[in-house]
Amino acid sequence: MDHFHYLNGQLYCENVPIQELAKQYGTPLFVYSQATLLHHLRSLKKAFEEAKPIICYSIKANGNLSICRLLGEHGAGFDVTSGGELYRALKAGPKGAPIVFAGVGKTAAEIRMALDAGVLLFDVESEEELWTIGRIAQELGRRAPVALRVNPDLPPKTHVKTDTSVKGVKFGLDIETVVEVARAALGHPGLELMGIHMHLGSPILKTEPYRQGAEKAIRLIEQFRQQGHNIRYLNMGGGFGIHYRRDEAPPADAYAQAILPAIRATGCQLILEPGRFLVGNAGILVSTVLYRKSTGGKHYLIQDAAMNDLIRPTLYGSIHRLWPVRLPPGVPDRPPLDMNINPDQGNPFLDFEGSLRQDVVGPVCESGDFLAKDRPLPRMEPGDLLAIFSAGAYGMSMASNYNSRPRAAEVLVTDATHRLIRRRETYDDLIACEECCLLPAGRSQ
C-alpha cells in the first residue's frame, strides 16, 4: 500500500500535488510519504504481534535522519552496517533504541564505537571477526553481545547480487562449521554468544525460504544451548519483498506464518531488520523531461534523473513503474500491469494517442544510464514531469556525484504539508572536501 494517487489527472503524495513540490524544490526530487512509512511499520508489528518483535530499521535502505527519527519515534530500532550508519542511528535516536551491527568488514574503530554505544548485538560474519570483537571487548573490560550470522545454504531466491544465503557468498558462517565456531567461543571472557542471525537476501518474494531458514535456526539454537550458550535472540533479518510492478509481494502476515513457528519452538526474542519493506514504496523520484530522440529504430525519453540518482535499474536490472505526473487526455492513471506487454496486441492501457515504447534515460555519459528500457509510455513533452515509483529504498542511499552531478533534494509529505529533509547539493558542495588541496593560481607544486 502507498499513498500516491491520481486526482483529476494529477499525481498526489497524500494530499499534496507532486507538481507543486517539483515547482518549489526542483528536480530530480525524492518525495516520501509519512503515511506510507508508518502504515508499513504498523502492518509488520501487527503481523508479528504474537512475538513482540524488536524491529530494527535497516538504515542502508535510506539513511535520511528525518526518516530514521520518524521510525524511531514509532518504536523502531536500527540495523547498521558501518560506523557511519551507527552514527546516523545515534543521531536519529531515540536514546536507548536497540541497534544491531551487521556487515562483514567491521574495523577495530567501528567495533569500539559500537561497544561504547551499547549496541544490542554484533551480527558476526567470520571467525576472525569474532575473535577481534572478543579481544577489543576484553581490552575494554567488557563482554561483547554477539549473534553468529549463519549462511543456511538455501537455493537461489533473488538477484545474484543480493542473495546472501547461497553457498559461495561473502556473508555469514557456513552452516557446516558454525557449531564448532560456537563451541570455541564458549567461556571467552570478551564474548557472550546470545543469538543467531539469518538474513537471507533481498527482495524475497516467497515465504518458503524463511520457513526453511527458520527450521535450520531451530536446530542450531538447540545445539548452541546444549554447548552452554544462553541463546536469547533469533534475528531473521529482513528482505521482505515489495510491489515494484504491482501486487507481486506477499503481505507481512504471510512472512509471519513462515517465521513464527521457530519463535514458538525456541522461545527466543525475534529480531527483524526491514528496510525496503518500510521505505521502498513510500518514496518516488520525480524528474523533468528534457528532450525526445529517435535513432536506430528506438525512441528515447531523456530526462534529468540518472543512474547516479537511482542506480538499481543499471546495477540489478530492476523494474520501476514510471508514469507522467500530469496525465494527457485519455491516458489511464496507472501503467500497464505487464511492463513488457506488446503494444501491438491492443492492450487497453496502451490504446491512447501517441503511445509508444521508449527507453527512459538520463544525462550521465554512460550507455548504462537508464531508468527503464522499451517501456510503453504516453507521448511526453519537454518540461513534463515523470514519476519513478518505489524509489524510497536504495535510491538516495546509493546515489553518487558521478559526472559531478549534485545529489537530489528530499521532501517528506505529511497529509497536506511538506518539508525539505535534505537540500539539493550545490556545485560548491561537490568540491567542499577538496578545497584544502587547491593551490593559489599560478603556482605549481
Confirm whether residue 273 is marked as ligand binding: yes
Evaluate whether residue 438 is within a structural domain.
no
- Do 214 and 74 fall within a single domain? yes
- Do 171 and 77 fall within a single domain? yes
- Do 216 and 345 fall within a single domain? no
Integer Cα distance of 237 and 294 in angstroms: 45
Which candidate, 352, 146, 127, 118, places its Cα nearest to that of 233? 146
User: What is the reported pLDDT for 341?
Assistant: 41
Integer Cα distance of 134 and 145 in angstroms: 9
Tens of pLDDT, residues 412-425: 999 999 999 999 99
Q: What is the mean pLDDT of residues 263-290?
A: 97
Tell me how many domains the chain contains: 2
Q: Kindly tell me if the per-residue pLDDT of 118 is higher than 80.
A: yes
List the CATH number of the domain containing 18.
2.40.37.10
Q: Which element (helix H / strand E) includes 316?
A: helix 312-316
Evaluate whether residue 443 is within a structural domain.
no
List the CATH number of the domain containing 51.
3.20.20.10
Q: What is the mean pLDDT of residues 273-298?
A: 96
Model confidence band, residue 438 (pLDDT cutoffs 50, 70, 90): low
- Do 111 and 236 fall within a single domain? yes
Confirm whether residue 394 is marked as ligand binding: yes
Q: What is the mean pLDDT of residues 404-410?
A: 98
Q: Kindly tell me if the per-residue pLDDT of 339 is higher than 50.
A: no
Confirm whether residue 316 is marked as ligand binding: yes
- Do 190 and 87 fall within a single domain? yes
Confirm whether residue 383 is marked as ligand binding: no
Model confidence band, residue 152 (pLDDT cutoffs 50, 70, 90): confident
Cell numbers at 444, concatenated: 605549481
Evaluate whether residue 360 is within a structural domain.
yes
Evaluate whether residue 343 is within a structural domain.
yes
User: What is the reported pLDDT for 160?
Assistant: 58
Catalytic residue of the set 365, 433, 436, 437: 365
User: What is the reported pLDDT for 323?
Assistant: 95
Confirm whether residue 276 is marked as ligand binding: yes
Tens of pLDDT, residues 28-57: 999 999 999 999 999 999 999 999 999 999
- Do 107 and 233 fall within a single domain? yes
Evaluate whether residue 48 is within a structural domain.
yes
Q: Which pTM was predicted? A: 0.92
201: left (phi over 0), alpha (psi -120 to 50) or beta: left
Confirm whether residue 239 is marked as ligand binding: yes
- Do 293 and 215 fall within a single domain? no
54-93 exposure pattern, b = at least 16 Cβ within 10 A, e = fewer: bbbbbbbbbbbebbbbbbbeeebbbbbbbbebbbbbeebe
Sign of the Cα torsion 204, 29, 389, 4 reads positive
Q: Could you say which of 278, 296, 313 is where a domain stops?
A: 278
- Do 366 and 404 fall within a single domain? yes
Evaluate whether residue 419 is within a structural domain.
yes
Confirm whether residue 187 is marked as ligand binding: no
Tens of pLDDT, residues 203-222: 888 899 899 999 999 999 99
- Do 221 and 109 fall within a single domain? yes
- Do 287 and 419 fall within a single domain? yes
Confirm whether residue 237 is marked as ligand binding: no
Q: Kindly tell me if the per-residue pLDDT of 351 is higher than 50.
A: no
User: What is the reported pLDDT for 441?
Assistant: 66
Confirm whether residue 57 is marked as ligand binding: no
- Do 9 and 41 fall within a single domain? no
| 433 a catalytic residue | no
Evaluate whether residue 256 is within a structural domain.
yes
Q: Which domain holds residue 129?
A: 34-278
Model confidence band, residue 436 (pLDDT cutoffs 50, 70, 90): low
Q: Kindly tell me if the per-residue pLDDT of 426 is higher than 90.
A: yes
User: What is the reported pLDDT for 93?
Assistant: 87
Tell me the Cα Rg of the chain: 24
Cell numbers at 316, concatenated: 540489478
DSSP secondary-structure letter at 31? Answer: E
Evaluate whether residue 112 is within a structural domain.
yes
Q: Kindly tell me if the per-residue pLDDT of 329 is higher than 70.
A: yes
Mean pLDDT of the chain: 90
Q: Could you say which of 213, 246, 278 is where a domain stops?
A: 278
Say which residue the cell 559461495 belongs to.
168
pLDDT cut 90: percent of the chain above it: 77
Separation in Å, CA 370 to CA 106, 325, 380:
34, 19, 17
Q: Could you say which of 278, 312, 341 is where a domain stops?
A: 278
Residue 160 exposed, middle or buried by CB count within 10 Å (0-12, 13-18, 19+): exposed
Residues contacting residue 86 through CB under 8 Å, at least 6 positions apart: 80, 99, 101, 110, 113, 114, 117, 119
Tens of pLDDT, residues 84-105: 999 999 999 899 999 999 999 9
User: What is the reported pLDDT for 171?
Assistant: 66
Integer Cα distance of 432 and 259 in angstroms: 47
- Do 274 and 387 fall within a single domain? no
